[in-house]
Structure 1
Amino acid sequence: MMELVVISGKGGTGKTSMVGSLASLSRDKVLVDCDVDAADLHLILQNNVQKTTEFIGGKQANIDEDKCTNCGICQDYCRFDAIKNESQIDNEDGERYWIDKHACDGCGVCVRHCPEDAIDFKEVVSGEWYISDTPYGSLVHARLGIAQANSGKLVSELRQQAKQLADQRGLDLILIDGPPGIGCPVIASITGVGYVLIVTEPSMSALHDMERLLKLTVHFRIPTGICINKYDINLDLTARIEDFAQKQKVKILGRIPFDPTVTKAQMAGTSIIEHNTNGASKSIKSLWSNLNEEFKEKG
């Protein structure tokens, strides 16, 4: 089974649109949107949710005021400054302790050291993950709650669910729309995959992010290729990207021209492949052909 992850570093390079186009070209696959903080692949795939499951991202502490004796031991041990105390006129000790839910990291040290057993430690629903039907196959995606952490854990859950679906249905490809950046969600998205495609564009910010992503994929020893989207908007920077890729011995698998019909396809709720046969569509088909050659070469 091949897991292909499409990432970009910089947001707005056309990564998700590229995944949507590759989805229309590929067969026998499961789609995954690992950008759990701002998932949007489902918006261009006309999805129909078939299954919804709560995501338990961790635990959170809560002080039971009836049991609390205001000793302050929990606050002394907390390293996240999540336990607050404030004056309270009707309290004999003049204080009330409470936990800032946005600062609490769920480590549980306060629960362990509370002498009165006055701190509850309950699981927290941090979001939801879904399995949807689309015209191009099943899509596994999620919605992480506002200010919720553990996006890397949710990404790992999505990948696991996608593998189970692929195994059950005998599918040989998992196509993953990765998150932007190089942080925890990205690492969770690329760890152990078969191939990474970096979608970049001829801008300085995209170039620098591509360089950082390559360091990441080299560290994890993951085969990597590059696609330059909108390559013709700045040919000088495109040449710099190509020169850098050559020095790093990374293949340029595709050069996609700027094409206004891509936006029209998005507005119509279809992929560029179905919307038009020339321009960007033709170049993306060539990219997909090159990717398949890479898959065969990497085994």
Structure 2
Amino acid sequence: MKQITVISGKGGTGKTTITATFAYLAGNSVIADCDVDAPNLHILLKPRIMREEPFMGGRKAFITSDCNACGLCYELCRFDAIVPGDIYSVDETRCEGCALCFNACPSKAVEMRVAQSGKIFISETDYGPMVHALLNPGEENSGKLVSEVREKAKLIAEEKKAKLLLLDGAPGIGCPVIASLANTDIAVVVAEPTLSGISDMGRVLDLAEHFRVESVVIINKHDLNPDVVKEIEKLCATKGVEVLGKIPYDASIPEQLSKLSFPFEGEAAKAIADVWECLM
């Protein structure tokens, strides 16, 4: 089974648009959306949710009936998570799980309990099974959630004897990206021809190299800035990374996106299909 992870150094490069088209072209792969903070692959692939599972992330404070309302936890909490009352309580949306109240409570009335931090969805699409997730706002452990999404998608792929596991990674170089690169065969880096685009592409290529993951680059909207495209090609040559293909700017893509018209049509869609052939 081949594992392909599509990533980008920054948001807005067209990464998810390209991943969705790859899923369509693959026909029957197992798909995983590893952008758990702000997922949007589901908008295009329109998955039918078959099963929902809770993601249990970090621990949060819980105040028991042993509380004598001394107010110490309220004074100490810097996140305003303590709610005063006859028995104090904790606002889970504000609690950061630092455990200061747990350690300071003279009545030992505070417990640290594992809390639900998000949801994982096992779905079906017209293009194959899909695993995706959503982390609750402000929660941590996004890398851990991505790892769970990957693992569930891999198990489904093994059960179905799928030949391809296609992952849509998060933008940037943080924990979710690192988790999405684990055990992948090749990282497809989507770059845009801007100064920030080339800088962020360089950082994500360095990240992939650090973890010994083979990378290739796709330059999206290449015709908007030919000078920067040359710089991207020069940087890739220096790093020994292949530029797999270039996708032209296609004004019809934003229009198709606004109408949720998928699969895409037009020049860009044809160019993505050409890149897919080279990739496979």
Global fold match (TM > 0.5):
yes
Q: 1:84 to 1:256 in 2, by over 3 A?
A: closer
Alignment-mate amino acid for residue 48 of structure 1: R
Alignment partner of 2:10: what SS? coil
Preserved contact between residue 82 and residue 91 of structure 2 (Cα < 8 Å):
no
Alignment-mate amino acid for residue 284 of structure 1: I
Preserved contact between residue 197 and residue 225 of structure 1 (Cα < 8 Å):
yes
How many equivalent residue pairs? 279
Matches within 5 A, 1:22-33: 22-33=22-33
Structure 1 residue 68: Cα displacement: 4.2
Alignment-mate amino acid for residue 156 of structure 1: S
Structure 1 residue 104: Cα displacement: 4.0
Structure 1 residue 97: Cα displacement: 7.3
User: What is aligned with 1:269?
Assistant: 261
Alignment-mate amino acid for residue 254 of structure 1: G
Structure 1 residue 102: Cα displacement: 5.4
Separation of aligned partners in 2, 1:84 and 1:21:
44
Matches within 5 A, 1:96-245: 101=92, 104-106=95-97, 108=99, 110-111=101-102, 114=105, 116-245=107-236
Separation of aligned partners in 1, 2:82 and 2:56:
28
Separation of aligned partners in 1, 2:81 and 2:136:
24
Separation of aligned partners in 2, 1:192 and 1:249:
21
Separation of aligned partners in 2, 1:191 and 1:268:
31
Separation of aligned partners in 2, 1:63 and 1:196:
46
Preserved contact between residue 83 and residue 99 of structure 1 (Cα < 8 Å):
no
Alignment-mate amino acid for residue 261 of structure 2: G
Structure 2 spans left out of the alignment, 5+ residues: none
Q: 1:281 to 1:85 in 2, by over 3 A?
A: closer
Structure 1 residue 106: Cα displacement: 2.9
Preserved contact between residue 81 and residue 92 of structure 2 (Cα < 8 Å):
no
User: What is aligned with 1:282?
Assistant: 270
Structure 1 residue 107: Cα displacement: 5.3
Separation of aligned partners in 2, 1:22 and 1:186:
19
Structure 1 residue 66: Cα displacement: 4.2
Structure 1 spans left out of the alignment, 5+ residues: 293-299
Q: CA RMSD for the aligned pairs?
A: 2.7
Separation of aligned partners in 2, 1:125 and 1:63:
17
Preserved contact between residue 84 and residue 97 of structure 1 (Cα < 8 Å):
no
Separation of aligned partners in 1, 2:271 and 2:181:
25
Structure 1 residue 69: Cα displacement: 6.9
Q: 1:261 to 1:84 in 2, by over 3 A?
A: closer
Preserved contact between residue 119 and residue 133 of structure 2 (Cα < 8 Å):
yes
User: What is aligned with 2:244?
Assistant: 253
User: What is aligned with 1:63?
Assistant: 63
User: What is aligned with 1:39?
Assistant: 39
Pick which of 142-151 and 204-213 moved more. Answer: 142-151
